[in-house]
């Protein structure tokens, strides 16, 4: 399964202290029904319920900047809690009380230097729809996802990856002869990065 990453500017990402003094990070790692920026020939949105299966099945990690060297929590150890609410994918991380986490994660979040979240995912079979909007733009709707990690991130940009291009390519190959021009444009855009 291909792994894709998406980053969002979130409202309300906050640090809290538990009764035992542990620091918790609470916020939304993804939001529903919001169109992304252009991801290389398409825009994307997440349908409510897209994470329901992942919340019940997947062993998800909370990482800093998607880096497996900086584990902040994990669902299997009950230090990461995930839920869907009306807004999106709600996260609650009980972070380790280490000097590294205080310096690398807590301090930048308290200062407001890090205020965005991201998630790494794969699409489950039948877990996406492709369509065109009224302006002819390609829209991908994510409906069933496998979740790998949620991460507070420094840079909240949507990456222009070949994973996203492959996803678009698979859909566009069923849409007719305009595909070669689109692939040439995407290849030129990728080389410019």
Q: What is the pLDDT of residue 83?
A: 96
> 137-167 pLDDT, tens per residue?
999 999 999 999 998 888 753 332 222 334 4
Cβ atoms of 119 and 151 within 8 Å: the answer is yes
Domain ranges for the chain: 4-159
Separation between Cα atoms, residue 183 and residue 193, nearest integer Å:
16
Separation between Cα atoms, residue 48 and residue 137, nearest integer Å:
22
Q: What is the pLDDT of residue 1?
A: 60
For each of the chain's 193 residues, which pLDDT tens digit applies? 676 666 555 555 565 665 666 788 888 888 888 888 888 889 899 999 999 999 999 999 999 999 999 999 999 999 999 999 998 898 989 989 899 998 998 888 888 888 788 889 999 999 999 999 998 999 999 999 999 999 888 875 333 222 233 445 555 666 655 444 444 444 444 444 3
Q: What is the pLDDT of residue 96?
A: 92
Separation between Cα atoms, residue 82 and residue 91, nearest integer Å:
5
The arrangement of strands across the sheet holding 4-9 comes to 4-9, 116-123, 145-153, 61-64, 67-74
Nearest to 6 by CA among 172, 188, 148, 185: 148
Q: What is the pLDDT of residue 111?
A: 85
Q: Within 13 Å and on the Cβ side, how many CA atoms surround 128?
A: 20
């Amino acid at each position: 399964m291909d792994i894709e990453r998406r980053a969002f500017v979130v409202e309300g990402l906050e640090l809290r202290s538990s009764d035992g003094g542990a620091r918790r990070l609470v916020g939304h790692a993804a939001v529903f029904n919001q169109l992304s920026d252009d991801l290389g020939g398409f825009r994307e949105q997440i349908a409510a319920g897209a994470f329901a299966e992942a919340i019940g099945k997947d062993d998800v990690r909370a990482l800093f900047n998607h880096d497996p060297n900086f584990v902040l929590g994990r669902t299997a150890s009950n230090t990461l809690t995930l839920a869907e609410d009306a807004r999106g994918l709600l996260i609650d991380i009980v972070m380790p009380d280490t000097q590294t986490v205080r310096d690398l994660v807590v301090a930048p979040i308290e200062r407001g230097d890090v205020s965005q979240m991201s998630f790494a995912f794969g699409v489950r079979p039948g877990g996406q729809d492709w369509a065109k909007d009224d302006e002819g733009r390609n829209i991908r709707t994510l409906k069933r996802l496998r979740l790998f990690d949620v991460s507070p991130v420094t840079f909240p940009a949507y990456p222009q990856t070949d994973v996203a291009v492959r996803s678009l390519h698979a859909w566009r190959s069923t849409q007719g002869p305009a595909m070669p021009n689109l692939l040439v444009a995407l290849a030129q855009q990728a080389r410019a990065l």
